[in-house]
A and B are shown apart, each in its own frame.
Chain A
Amino acid sequence: MKKHLRLSILLAFILPWIAISSCKEKDSKIQAAVETELKNSNMTGVLASVKSGVVTLTGECTNETSRASVESAVGKIKGVKQVVNNCTVAALPPAPAPVVISGDETLRSGVTDATKDYPSVKASVNDGVITLTGDIKRAELQKLMMTLHTLQPKKIENKLTIK
């Protein structure tokens, strides 16, 4: 009877310990596998923690698709019982504002002013596009261009003959 008692006491202490330690061992294996998976799929913003085979994912995914795919990939790892996906999806960067293009009237008066000192330069404006014809000295070209670009045209077609 005494022997049995000792054995049962022994088992009462040792068995849970064995169970816990083997569970911990499993968790660390899962952790390593999950981390490899995250690294391979380039999900550097996602962190994982494992407890008793339950993987909790936190951090930021780039989009919904990657959030779903990381969850399913982690779920397939051996030993994983459940995936708790607490990842957030990164907010989309605000779309850039459309380019402001000046109206033809504004462009025409700006072009007239800008080309006033270059009598051999002819310029026309049509639907935001400035077209330059005639001729110009190479030394003057950049200065004229610098002014025309600040008028905010859609485009500048440079058909000037450069002397």
Chain B
Amino acid sequence: MALQDKYKELLDTAKSLGISNLQAREQSNVLYIDGEAPSGAAKDQLWNVYGKLDPDFRSGDVVMNVNVSTMVPGSKAVVTTERSNLNIRKGPGTDQPIIGKAAHHELVTLVSKTNDQWWLIRTDGGEEGYATAQYLSPQN
């Protein structure tokens, strides 16, 4: 239970942010936190607390698999790349050919989720293909 003590503030924050299906399990000296955040902002806030408790994420004693529950098929997402366009690919994987682009800060439609990393998306221009979830943020 030592890790649950170390990351008590993180777990308390998760509860107060309303993370659903929240699970905190300790296994082989790693604390696994799973759940669904009600918004992208809530997920960011949670990560900020984690970064404060474990500066630069050096300890390697947490795996926090928290996704945003509003990322559901049919909803809109914003392309949150650094500055470049987001590649739209034929399949879910960076080894897949690029078939289109979504602009930085463009609003796209989430069609279906392949896994936590890849979404099938559609742009307003009608381009459809797979994009990586790390550059898609739910429209809050």
Question: Which A residues contact B (CB, under 8 angstroms)?
Answer: 96, 98-99, 109-110, 112-114, 116-117, 138, 141-143, 145-147, 149-158, 162
Partner of B30, one of A98, A138, A145, A155: A155
Contacts of A147 in B (CB 8 A): 117, 132-134
Which chain A residues border B58 with CB–CB below 8 Å? 158
Give B17-75 interface residues, CB cut-off 8 Å to A. Answer: 23, 25, 27-28, 30, 32, 43, 47, 51, 56-58, 60-61, 63-67
Contacts of B25 in A (CB 8 A): 96, 99
| Contact A113/B93 with A99-B32, A142-B47, A149-B63 known, Cβ cut-off 8 Å | yes
Do the beta carbons of A150 and B94 come within 8 Å of each other? no
| Total residues of chain B contacting the partner, CB 8 A | 29
Query: 26 A–B contact pairs at CB < 8 A?
Result: A96-B23, A99-B25, A99-B27, A109-B93, A109-B95, A113-B93, A113-B94, A114-B117, A141-B57, A142-B47, A142-B51, A143-B134, A145-B47, A146-B47, A147-B132, A147-B133, A149-B63, A149-B66, A150-B117, A150-B133, A151-B116, A152-B65, A156-B63, A157-B60, A158-B58, A162-B56
CB closest chain-A residue, reference B51: A142
How many Å from the CB of A19 to the closest CB on chain B? Answer: 56
Query: Which residue of B is nearest A140, CB measured?
Result: B82
Contact across chains for B132 and A156 when beta carbons are under 8 A apart = no
Q: How far is the CA of A157 from the CA of B118 in the complex (A)?
A: 24
